[in-house]
Copies of this chain bind each other. A is one copy, B any other.
């Protein structure tokens, strides 16, 4: 009986040790931050191929996900976003931002998914889904 309990207890503990690392990248600062984030995420995936990364954007943080957005070195963001999405990265956009900035969801790159609130999503992923936080 006690052994059975102990096994379950150790299983619960080791779950933390073996569980997939899940990271929310929080972007709200605009194109330069987004550009750094693309490089950071590429390095992150190379260093730890099993990591799950969700990028949550609001405010000026959504700009790189708009059609035609270009990096500081004048490359389209679409290529990097598509490449990272192909490696399992998800991109979420705050609907409050779309509304307050009067931007149609049609203007977003197709890899984007709209969520009701960016900040609530950043908190929810941490509190309910075991994500850790990183602000590039």
A interface, CB within 8 angstroms of B: 1-2, 4-5, 8-9, 12, 16-17, 19, 21-23, 26, 28, 36, 40-41, 43-44, 46-48, 51, 58-59, 94, 96, 116-120, 122-124, 126-128, 132-136
Contact = CB atoms under 8 A, between A and B. Distances in A.
12 contacts: A1-B1, A5-B5, A16-B128, A21-B128, A23-B123, A41-B119, A44-B119, A48-B123, A51-B120, A123-B132, A126-B132, A133-B134
Given A28-B136, A41-B119, A126-B132, 6 more contacts: A5-B5, A43-B96, A43-B120, A48-B123, A123-B134, A126-B133
Given A19-B127, A119-B43, A133 B132 contact: yes
